[in-house]
Amino acid sequence: MTKNMINTKQAPAAVGPYSHAVLVGNQAFISGQLGLDPTSGKLQASVTMQAKQAFDNLKEILLEMDLSFSDIVKTTVFLTDMTDFAAVNEVYADYFGEWKPARSCFVVKELPLGGSFEIEAIAMK
């Protein structure tokens, strides 16, 4: 089975020793995306803006593999504050529309670089 590391200059560089995604056969395992602006490398100010930026970064990684949000079958969302759940759900719904992949959501003590939101995904070609 073929394995390929996927990286794109259209999304922020990884903040550690990992790829944006790994494509194994027809499955894409996409690393967690923070709300980092790809140009400045800085986090967006609010959790809503971080979520939108993280989804935009995720979109760029998907495009690198000729995939879209409708190809995502599972996501995991990480928040640092559960009171952000409703606001993040609104952003999430805007990006996925009618398609509803399986999802888990966890509150964690902290995220890299002081982020408030992170999303990882599994997609199928």
Report the C-alpha gap between 13 and 79 in whole angstroms: 21
Residue 29, phi-psi category: left (phi > 0), alpha (psi -120 to 50), beta (remainder): beta
Instruction: Establish whether 114 is a catalytic residue.
Output: no
Catalytic residue among 15, 49, 87, 105: 105
| C-alpha 122, offset from chain centre | 10
Instruction: For tokens 């949000």, name the residue.
Output: 69
Query: Active-site residues: which are they?
Result: 105
